[in-house]
C-alpha cells in the first residue's frame, strides 16, 4: 500500500476509534472508552480530539485534575478550538477555579458567539464567582440560541434566587420543568426557592419528586431535612438524615432515636450532619446539637457556618459567653458573615452588653441591609430618635415591604412599631402593629375553642377536694421557685431580683414541668393526660412527678440551693405544683390587664403565645387566665402562692423585694435591689429593659393606643379596671 493509502487508512481508524469511544462514553462504559483513546494516542501522540475526549472521560471517572491536564494539551495543539475552551472552562469551574473558567469561557464565546454550550458554561462560571447579573446575561444568550435549553433556564433561576428575586426564580425552575419534567436538579432548586418563599409543604413535595426521579440524590435529601424542620416535623427530618447518612460514601449506617439522646456519628457527610444539628437546635435539644457539631469539627476543618451553629446551640444551654466566642470565631473566618453578627448581637444583648450588641447589629445591616430580622433585633435594643440614621435605614427598608415574604414583612412591621413608639408617633406605631399581628395570625396554629376549653377542664379537674386529698404526698424539696403569669407582666424583673440573691440561680424560661407531667401520664398508657390525670394520679405518682422534675431542673444549676423556673405558662399547673412539690414556692406576677395585653400585642414572640396576635382573642384568653388564677386562689391553701403586682413593685421596690424574699424563705440581701447589674444571661423579650434601673414609664402605657383598642376593651370588660 502506498504511503498515502496507509495515512488514509490510519485516519479512518482514528475517526472510527473516536466515534466508538464517544459512544462508550455516552453509554457510561468509561473504561472501554479510556482504553480506546489511550491506544489512539499511542498511534497519534498529542492528537487534540483524542486528548480532549480522554480529558472528558477522565473527568467522568472522577479524575478532574487529569482531565484538565489532558484538555490543556489538546488546546495547545488546537488553540482556537472554542469547544475545547468551553469544556476546559467547565472542568476548571468544577475544580473550584472560577477565575480561570471565566477567562477560558470568554475566549470560547469570542471565537464562537453562537455556541450555546459555551455561553452556558461561561454563565455557570460567573454564577460560581458571584457575578449573578453577568451569569443571567449568558444564560439568556444560551436560551436565545437554544430556546428549550432546560439546563440554562434552571441555572438562570439559580442566579435569580441568589439575587433575592425568588418569585422570578420559581417561574424559571417551573419553566425548565415544563421542558423536562424528569429533571431532578430543577425540582431540587424549586424546593429550595419554595423554602425561601416560606412554602415548606410545597418544598417537601418538590424534594420528594426529585428523589423519585433520582433515588439517593444526597443534595435533595439534605434539603428535605430542612424543609421538614421548617414544618417542625422533627422525626421526619431525622429519618431523612438517617437515609442520607446511610447512602453517603464512607458513612456507617446510622440510626438516631427521635430524641437524639445518644449520638454515634461517623465523620462522613458534613452537610447532612450540619442539617441534623440544625434540626436538634430547633427541637430544643442543644446538647445533642453540640455533640453533632463537635463531631463535624473533629472530622473536617472549621467552617464559619458550623461555628455559627455551635454558637446558637451554646446560647440555648445558657452558655452565652461560649456562644459569643463561637460567633467571633465564625466572623474571623468570614468577616462578611452578616448572620453571625446578628446572632452575636443577640448573645451580647442577653449578657446586657447593649452597646456591643448595637455595634454587631449595625455591622450585620451594613453587610446585608435586606435582612428584616436584624431590624427587629436592633429595634429591641435601640431607642430611636427623630432623624437618627437607624430610623432612616429602617424607613428605607419599609419602602420594599410589598416585595418581601410574609415573615420578613412581619419583622419590619414590629420593628417599625417599636421605632414609632419611641418617637411618640403612636398612630403610625399601631398601624404597623396591626399589620404585623395580622400577618402573624395567618400563620400561627391557634385553636381558640380548644384553648378556652382547656381552662375549663383544669378548673373541673383541679377541685378543692382533689387537691386536699393529695396534700403531703409530693416530693419534700423546696429547691424550685416557680414564676408564673402572662408574658410582659414584670416576670423578668422578679426573676432578676431573686437571681441576685446568693442562694438563688435561675434556669430561665423552661418547659421541664410539662415534660415531667407528660412522662408520668404516658408511663403505662393507663392515665389520661393533664388535667384529667389530676383525678387519677396516686400519691406516689405525684411524688414521682416531683422527683422527675427535680432531676431535670438540676442540670441547669447543679447543686444550687434554690432554682428559679420562669416557665410562665406553668400557671396551668399551679395546683399540680402544690401537690407534687408542696414546699416549692409559686410566685404569680401580674400587671394591669390592659398594659399586659398591649405589651403582648407589641411583641413578635420567638415561639408560643399564639393567642396574642388578635386583640379579641387576646382579651378572651386573658379573661380565662384571670379566672383560672382566681380559681387557684380559692382552692390552694393560704401561702401556697404569692401574688406580686408589677405596679406595686415599681412603686416600692425594697418593700416588695423584702416581701418576695420572705415568702421564699430567703434572708435579706440588699444587692437584690441592684437587679439591673446582674451579669447572668437574660433570654426574654425584656432582656434590655431589665438591665436598666427601675422606671415607671410602662405603667399606663395602653393609653397611648386607647383609640385602637376597642376589641380588647370589650373582651376584657371589668378587667380593664384591674
CA distances from 485 to 219, 673, 694 (A): 45, 22, 20
CA distances from 50 to 53, 147, 339 (A): 5, 31, 49
480-484 and 562-565 beta bridge pairing: parallel
pLDDT at position 1, please? 28
pLDDT at position 41, please? 85
Q: What whole-number distance in Å separates Cα of residue 227 and Cα of residue 248?
A: 20
Q: Which set of grid coordinates corresponds to residue 322?
A: 461560649
Q: What whole-number distance in Å separates Cα of residue 107 and Cα of residue 101?
A: 10
504-508 and 585-590 beta bridge pairing: unpaired
Q: Which set of grid coordinates corresponds to residue 142?
A: 444560551
pLDDT per position as a tens digit, 131-184: 999 999 999 999 999 999 999 999 999 999 999 899 999 999 999 999 999 999
- What's the CATH class of domain 454-721? alpha beta
Provide the 3-class DSSP secondary structure of residue 602. Answer: coil
Decide: 65 and 88 in contact? Cβ < 8 Å. Answer: no
- Quick one: which H or E segment has residue 125? helix 116-128
pLDDT per position as a tens digit, 416-431: 999 999 999 999 999 9
Burial class (CB in 10 A: 0-12, 13-18, 19+), 422: middle
State the helix-helix crossing angle for 304-316 and 286-299, rounded to 10 degrees: 160
Which 3-state string (H, E, C) describes 478-510? CCEEEEECCCCCCHHHHHHHHHCCCCEEEEECC
> Which of the two residues, 610 and 21, has the higher pLDDT score?
610
Give just the sign of the alpha carbon dihedral 125, 126, 132, 137: negative
**Average pLDDT of 570-583?**
93
Q: Which set of grid coordinates corresponds to residue 390?
A: 437607624
Residue with cell 479510556: 34
Provide the 3-class DSSP secondary structure of residue 590. Answer: strand
- Say whether pLDDT at 253 is over 90: no
Q: What is the mean pLDDT of the chain?
A: 88
Give the N- to C-terminal CA distance of the chain in Å, as an integer: 114
Q: What whole-number distance in Å separates Cα of residue 18 and Cα of residue 666?
A: 90
Q: What whole-number distance in Å separates Cα of residue 440 and Cα of residue 608?
A: 12
pLDDT at position 696, please? 60
DSSP state of 413: H
pLDDT per position as a tens digit, 666-701: 999 999 888 766 556 555 544 455 445 555 667 889
CA distances from 669 to 101, 315, 506, 691 (A): 70, 29, 17, 19
Q: Which set of grid coordinates corresponds to residue 86?
A: 468551553
Domain parsing of the chain, residue ranges: 383-443, 454-721
Q: What whole-number distance in Å separates Cα of residue 642 and Cα of residue 335?
A: 50
pLDDT at position 472, please? 64
Whole-number CA gyration radius for the chain: 32
Q: What whole-number distance in Å separates Cα of residue 32 and Cα of residue 18?
A: 12
pLDDT per position as a tens digit, 501-546: 999 999 989 889 998 888 887 655 455 678 888 777 777 788 889 9
Buried b (16+ CB within 10 A) or exposed e, 610-628: bbbbbbebbbbbbbbbbeb
Provide the 3-class DSSP secondary structure of residue 180. Answer: coil
pLDDT at position 676, please? 67
This prediction has a pTM of 0.76
**Average pLDDT of 19-46?**
85
pLDDT per position as a tens digit, 217-232: 999 999 999 999 999 8
pLDDT at position 695, please? 57
Find the range with the poorest average confidence among 247-261, 383-397, 459-473, 628-642. 247-261
DSSP state of 538: -
Residue with cell 383598642: 709
**Average pLDDT of 708-717?**
97
**Average pLDDT of 469-496?**
89
Q: Which set of grid coordinates corresponds to residue 316?
A: 440555648
pLDDT per position as a tens digit, 619-647: 999 999 999 999 999 999 999 999 999 99
Q: Which residues are CB-neighbours of 511 under 8 A, at least 6 positions away?
A: 567
pLDDT at position 301, please? 83
Decide: 102 and 125 in contact? Cβ < 8 Å. Answer: yes
Residue with cell 464565546: 109
Alpha helix locations (H) across 401-469? 406-422, 426-443, 448-461, 464-469
Q: What whole-number distance in Å separates Cα of residue 345 and Cα of residue 365?
A: 11
Identify the bridge partners of residue 482 per DSSP, sorted by sequence position: 565, 586
Which 3-state string (H, E, C) describes 294-363? HHHHHHCCCCHHHHHHHHHHHHHCCCHHHHHHHHHHHHHHCCCCHHHHHHHHHHHHHCCCHHHHHHHHHH
> Which of the two residues, 258 and 355, has the higher pLDDT score?
355
**Average pLDDT of 53-80?**
88
Proportion of the chain above pLDDT 70, given as a percent: 91
562-565 and 504-508 beta bridge pairing: parallel
Sheet with 562-565, edge to edge strand ranges: 504-508, 562-565, 480-484, 585-590, 641-645
Confidence bin at 471 (pLDDT 50/70/90): low
Amino acid at each position: 500500500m502506498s504511503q498515502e493509502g496507509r495515512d488514509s487508512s490510519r485516519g479512518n481508524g482514528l475517526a472510527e476509534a473516536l466515534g466508538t469511544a464517544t459512544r462508550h462514553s455516552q453509554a457510561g462504559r468509561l473504561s472501554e472508552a479510556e482504553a480506546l483513546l489511550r491506544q489512539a494516542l499511542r498511534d497519534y501522540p498529542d492528537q487534540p480530539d483524542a486528548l480532549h475526549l480522554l480529558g472528558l472521560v477522565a473527568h467522568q471517572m472522577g479524575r478532574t485534575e487529569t482531565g484538565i491536564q489532558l484538555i490543556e494539551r489538546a488546546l495547545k495543539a488546537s488553540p482556537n478550538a472554542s469547544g475545547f475552551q468551553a469544556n476546559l472552562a467547565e472542568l476548571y469551574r468544577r475544580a473550584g477555579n472560577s477565575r480561570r473558567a471565566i477567562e477560558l469561557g470568554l475566549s470560547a464565546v469570542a471565537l464562537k458567539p453562537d455556541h450555546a454550550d459555551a455561553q452556558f458554561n461561561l454563565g455557570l462560571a460567573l454564577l460560581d464567582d458571584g457575578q449573578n447579573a453577568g451569569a443571567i446575561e449568558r444564560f439568556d444568550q444560551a436560551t436565545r440560541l437554544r430556546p428549550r435549553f432546560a439546563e440554562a433556564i434552571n441555572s438562570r433561576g439559580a442566579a435569580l434566587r441568589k439575587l433575592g428575586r425568588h418569585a422570578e426564580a420559581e417561574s424559571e425552575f417551573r419553566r425548565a420543568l415544563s421542558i423536562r419534567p424528569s429533571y431532578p436538579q430543577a425540582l431540587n432548586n424549586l424546593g429550595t426557592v419554595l423554602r425561601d418563599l416560606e412554602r415548606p409543604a410545597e418544598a417537601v413535595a418538590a424534594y420528594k419528586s426529585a428523589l423519585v426521579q433520582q433515588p439517593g440524590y444526597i443534595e435533595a435529601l439534605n434539603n428535605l431535612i430542612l424543609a421538614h424542620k421548617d414544618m417542625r416535623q422533627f422525626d421526619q427530618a431525622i429519618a431523612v438524615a438517617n437515609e442520607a447518612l446511610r447512602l453517603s460514601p464512607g458513612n456507617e449506617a446510622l440510626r438516631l432515636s427521635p430524641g437524639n439522646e445518644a449520638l454515634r456519628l461517623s465523620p462522613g457527610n458534613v452537610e447532612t450532619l450540619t442539617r441534623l444539628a440544625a434540626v436538634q437546635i430547633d427541637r430544643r435539644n442543644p446538647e445533642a446539637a453540640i455533640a453533632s457539631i463537635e463531631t463535624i469539627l473533629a472530622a473536617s476543618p472549621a467552617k464559619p457556618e458550623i461555628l455559627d451553629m455551635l454558637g446558637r446551640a451554646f446560647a440555648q444551654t445558657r452558655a452565652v459567653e461560649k456562644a459569643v466566642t463561637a460567633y467571633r470565631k465564625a466572623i474571623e473566618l468570614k468577616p462578611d458573615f452578616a448572620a453571625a453578627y446578628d446572632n452575636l448581637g443577640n448573645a451580647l444583648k442577653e449578657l446586657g452588653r447593649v452597646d456591643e450588641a448595637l455595634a454587631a447589629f449595625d455591622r450585620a445591616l451594613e453587610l446585608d441591609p435586606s435582612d428584616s430580622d436584624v431590624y427587629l433585633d436592633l429595634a429591641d435594643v435601640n431607642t430611636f430618635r427623630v432623624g437618627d440614621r437607624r430610623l432612616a435605614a429602617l424607613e428605607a427598608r419599609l419602602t420594599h415591604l410589598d416585595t418581601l415574604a410574609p415573615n420578613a414583612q412581619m419583622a419590619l412591621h414590629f420593628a417599625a412599631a417599636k421605632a414609632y413608639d419611641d418617637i411618640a408617633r403612636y398612630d403610625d406605631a399601631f398601624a404597623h402593629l396591626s399589620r404585623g399581628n395580622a400577618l402573624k395570625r395567618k400563620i400561627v396554629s391557634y385553636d381558640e375553642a380548644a384553648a378556652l376549653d382547656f381552662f375549663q377542664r383544669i378548673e373541673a379537674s383541679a377541685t378543692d377536694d382533689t387537691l386536699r386529698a393529695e396534700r403531703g404526698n409530693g416530693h419534700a424539696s423546696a429547691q424550685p421557685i416557680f414564676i408564673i403569669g402572662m408574658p410582659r407582666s414584670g416576670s423578668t424583673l422578679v426573676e432578676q431580683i431573686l437571681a441576685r440573691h446568693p442562694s438563688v440561680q435561675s434556669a430561665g424560661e423552661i418547659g421541664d414541668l410539662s415534660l415531667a407531667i407528660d412522662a408520668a401520664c404516658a408511663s403505662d398508657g393507663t392515665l389520661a393526660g393533664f388535667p384529667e390525670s389530676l383525678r387519677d394520679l396516686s400519691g406516689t405518682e405525684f411524688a414521682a412527678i416531683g422527683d422527675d422534675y427535680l432531676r431535670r431542673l438540676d442540670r441547669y444549676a447543679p447543686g444550687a440551693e434554690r432554682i428559679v423556673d420562669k416557665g410562665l405558662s406553668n400557671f396551668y399547673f399551679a395546683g399540680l405544683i402544690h401537690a407534687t412539690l408542696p414546699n416549692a414556692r409559686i410566685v404569680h406576677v401580674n400587671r394591669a390587664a390592659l398594659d399586659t395585653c398591649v405589651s403582648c400585642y407589641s411583641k413578635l414572640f420567638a415561639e408560643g403565645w399564639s393567642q396574642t396576635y388578635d386583640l379579641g382573642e387576646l382579651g378572651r384568653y386573658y379573661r380565662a387566665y384571670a379566672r383560672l388564677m382566681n380559681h387557684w386562689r380559692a382552692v390552694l391553701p393560704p401561702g401556697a402562692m404569692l401574688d406580686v403586682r408589677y405596679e406595686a413593685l415599681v412603686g416600692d421596690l425594697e418593700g416588695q423585694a423584702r416581701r418576695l424574699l420572705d415568702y421564699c424563705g430567703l434572708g435579706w440581701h440588699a444587692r437584690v435591689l441592684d437587679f439591673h447589674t446582674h451579669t447572668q444571661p437574660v433570654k426574654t423579650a425584656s432582656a434590655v429593659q431589665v438591665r436598666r434601673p427601675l422606671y415607671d414609664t410602662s405603667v399606663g402605657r395602653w393609653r397611648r393606643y386607647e383609640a385602637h383598642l376597642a376589641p380588647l376593651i370589650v373582651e376584657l370588660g371589668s378587667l380593664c379596671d384591674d
